């Protein structure tokens, strides 16, 4: 008897919790997103088609794609390098470096944008005038946008790869070296396969983050529609100019990309789990 009552009590409690979680998610995520989708497709495909033929919006989407591709590539190289440095080598200031990498996670992206502006602004930046004289535009141009995005997305790869690299240990690398492998062969044949899922996972997360970055990019891009406005910046400006349908269409595309990223992540997880047996 006591057994059943206890179980019933637990079930009721569990149901309450589930209901609360579902209601919370519904109010916060599902309803607004569904509303966005409904808004986009209120007139069938007309809104989306109109948005995709507007040269300014197309430009913003292409710019976002370019920025994300560049930022992800750069972060792949540096994220991997920093991860190896943090796990495989001992040096003075290692903890400081590890701590610095977390700054983008805790600092507001607007702060990042402003900081970049202070250093690279052609008018009053610490480094900007010299760059301008050399004919290199950083602020209000693609380099600045990419830098801001890189900064914001950097920790995502490092934080995925570091624990896996630590767990992997350097036994296998030592074994490979004793079997005649050079450093490069060891990296390609042993280290990289060992961290490939973590790396892929980090890459997808950092791609999602790059596509969605707004604050830092808004500050450094100068948000000139048709020139330096990325998709997120274009959403805001469309909305402010009362083009709600345009804003919904771009926002829908961003959500769509994010969902795609999540699907890829889920598939990667499954693959990873399967290989671990």
Partner 1 sequence: MSIEISGVSKRFGDFVALDDVTVSLPTGRLTALLGPSGGGKSTLLRIIAGLESADSGSVHIEGKDATRLPPRRRDVGFVFQHYAVFRHLTVARNIAFGLEIRRRRHLPGSAASRAQKARITARVDELLRLVHLEDFAHRLPGQLSGGQRQRMALARALAVEPSVLLLDEPFGALDAKVRRELRKWLRSLHDEVPVTTVFVTHDQEEALEVADEIVVINQGRIEQIGTPDRLYDDPANDFVMGFLGDVTTLDGAPLRPHDIDVALRPTTAAAVEGTVSRLARLGFHVRATVLTDDGEQVTVEMTRAHADALGLLEGATVFLTAALAVRRPMAQIA
- Give the residue with the Cβ less far from partner 1, 61 or 190: 190
Distance of closest approach, residue 80 Cβ to partner 1, in angstroms? 17
- Give the residue with the Cβ less far from partner 1, 132 or 189: 189
Q: Which residues bind partner 1 (CB under 8 A)?
A: 171-172, 174-182, 185, 189-190, 193-194, 275-277
Whether 225 and 234 have beta carbons less than 8 Å apart is answered as yes
Tokens encoding 166:
């630590």
Whether 101 and 82 have beta carbons less than 8 Å apart is answered as yes
Measured between alpha carbons, how far apart are the two ends of the chain, in Å? 41
Give the total residue count for the chain: 277
- Give the residue with the Cβ less far from partner 1, 156 or 164: 164
- Give the residue with the Cβ less far from partner 1, 185 or 241: 185
Tokens encoding 64:
């976002």
- Give the residue with the Cβ less far from partner 1, 176 or 254: 176
Distance of closest approach, residue 172 Cβ to partner 1, in angstroms? 5
Distance of closest approach, residue 242 Cβ to partner 1, in angstroms? 55
- Give the residue with the Cβ less far from partner 1, 91 or 124: 91
Cα-trace Rg, the chain: 23
Distance of closest approach, residue 176 Cβ to partner 1, in angstroms? 7
Please state, in angstroms and rounded to a whole number, the distance separating the CA atoms of residues 79 and 175: 25
- Give the residue with the Cβ less far from partner 1, 159 or 177: 177
Whether 114 and 219 have beta carbons less than 8 Å apart is answered as yes
Distance of closest approach, residue 270 Cβ to partner 1, in angstroms? 17
Cβ burial of 5 (10 Å; 0-12, 13-18, 19+) is: exposed
Distance of closest approach, residue 36 Cβ to partner 1, in angstroms? 42
Cβ burial of 242 (10 Å; 0-12, 13-18, 19+) is: exposed
Distance of closest approach, residue 198 Cβ to partner 1, in angstroms? 13
Please state, in angstroms and rounded to a whole number, the distance separating the CA atoms of residues 195 and 71: 20
Whether 119 and 127 have beta carbons less than 8 Å apart is answered as yes
- The count of other CB atoms within 10 Å of the CB of residue 254 is 18
């Amino acid at each position: 008897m006591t057994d059943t009552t206890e179980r019933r009590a637990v079930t009721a409690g569990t149901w309450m919790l589930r209901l609360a979680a579902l209601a919370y998610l519904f109010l916060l995520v599902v309803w607004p997103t569904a509303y966005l989708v409904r808004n986009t497709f209120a007139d069938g495909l007309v809104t989306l088609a109109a948005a995709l033929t507007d040269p300014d919006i197309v430009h913003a989407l292409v710019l976002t794609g370019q920025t994300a591709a560049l930022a992800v590539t750069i972060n792949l190289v540096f994220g991997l390098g920093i991860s190896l440095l943090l796990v495989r080598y001992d040096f003075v200031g290692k903890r400081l470096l590890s701590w610095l990498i977390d700054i983008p996670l805790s600092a507001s992206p607007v702060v990042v944008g402003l900081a970049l502006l202070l250093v690279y602004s052609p008018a009053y930046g610490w480094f900007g005038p010299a760059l301008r004289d050399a004919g290199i535009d950083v602020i209000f141009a693609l380099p600045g946008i990419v830098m801001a995005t890189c900064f914001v997305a950097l920790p995502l790869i490092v934080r995925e790869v570091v624990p896996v690299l630590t767990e992997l240990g350097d036994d296998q690398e030592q074994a490979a070296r004793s079997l005649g492998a050079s450093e490069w062969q060891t990296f390609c044949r042993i280290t990289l396969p060992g961290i490939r899922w973590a790396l892929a996972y980090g890459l997808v997360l950092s791609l999602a983050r790059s596509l969605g970055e707004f604050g830092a990019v808004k500050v450094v891009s100068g948000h000139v529609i048709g020139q330096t406005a990325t998709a997120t910046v274009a959403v805001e400006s469309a909305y402010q100019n009362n083009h709600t349908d345009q804003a919904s269409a771009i926002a829908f595309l961003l959500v769509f990309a994010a969902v795609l990223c999540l699907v890829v992540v889920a598939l990667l997880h499954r693959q990873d789990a399967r290989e671990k047996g």
